[in-house]
Amino acid sequence: MMITKLVMATNNANKLREAREILSPLGIEVLSQREAGADCDPEENGATFAENAYIKAKAVYGAVKLPTIADDSGLCVDALDGAPGVYSARYAPEGEHCAKLLSEMRDVPADRRGAAFECTICYLDENGHTELTGECRGSIGYEQRGTNGFGYDPVFVVGDRTMAELTADEKNKISHRGAALRELYRFLKERYGE
Ligand code: ITT
């Protein structure tokens, strides 16, 4: 029987909103960890997105014992050797991430401003865990533009717009999270049937 309900192990309301936008049209309801009765914020001390996603999924699954997903994601900047990567959330104080990144990238020429948003979704249920990944390539702009989305979206350029200038639907079609969640859906269909 296809899964129709998942718990999402996150304290990030924007990730939860995007997961709902992507999965609810596919017939999967996403409960927040709080709605499911779990109040977890485990230490994310893994070295990779996959390790951190598993840490978060395991903490919430242990509390709710229902099929659980966790998203660990971040921005990997070529000119910074992949940083901030798994440290994306901890890179700067709240609200200062984009400004700090623009300042670090001040002297980097246009042809070396490539970057990728990476996302790993860990799915965990009584049969064990699986990781699904998604990537979105773009580049780092020179100024913040747009008010949609969250995090680094105002400085991440795809085509001629920043991710924060895209509508939610436009972002979800091309985003790292959209790609990983669609992989998750394919995995669930294969394992549990239509
Ligand atoms: P949880 O661990 O509770 O899920 P978090 O925000 O701490 O929430 P992460 O540890 O995975 O999540 O950190 C990911 C950071 O990477 C996030 O805080 C953003 O700054 C950035 N990020 C991830 N996805 C993004 C997106 O779609 N748009 C912009 N920034 C994003």
pTM greater than the 0.95 cutoff: yes
Confidence grade of residue 30 (pLDDT, cut at 50, 70, 90): very high
Percent of the chain at pLDDT > 90 equals 98
Q: Give the mean model confidence (pLDDT) for residues 68-91.
A: 98
Catalytic residue check, 111 = no
In the block, residue with structure tokens 């970057």 = 115
Domains of the chain in sequence order: 5-192 (3.90.950.10)
Which ranges constitute the DSSP H helices of the chain? 13-23, 49-64, 97-104, 168-174, 176-192
Q: Give the mean model confidence (pLDDT) for residues 160-183.
A: 98
Structure confidence at residue 193 (pLDDT): 85
Q: Give the mean model confidence (pLDDT) for residues 81-109.
A: 98
134 pLDDT exceeds 90?
yes
**Ligand 1 contacts CB of residue 151 (under 6 A):** yes
Q: What CA–CA distance (Å, rounded) separates 9 from 108? A: 36
Catalytically annotated residue among 39, 41, 71, 72: 72
- Compute how many other C-beta atoms are within 10 angstroms of the C-beta atom of residue 89: 16
Query: Under DSSP, is residue 63 helix (H, G, I), strand (E, B) or coil?
Result: helix
**Ligand 1 contacts CB of residue 177 (under 6 A):** yes
Q: Give the mean model confidence (pLDDT) for residues 169-187.
A: 98
Q: Give the mean model confidence (pLDDT) for residues 71-78.
A: 98
Q: Which of 10, 15, 137 to mutate to test the pocket of ligand 1 (most atoms within 8 A of CB)?
A: 15
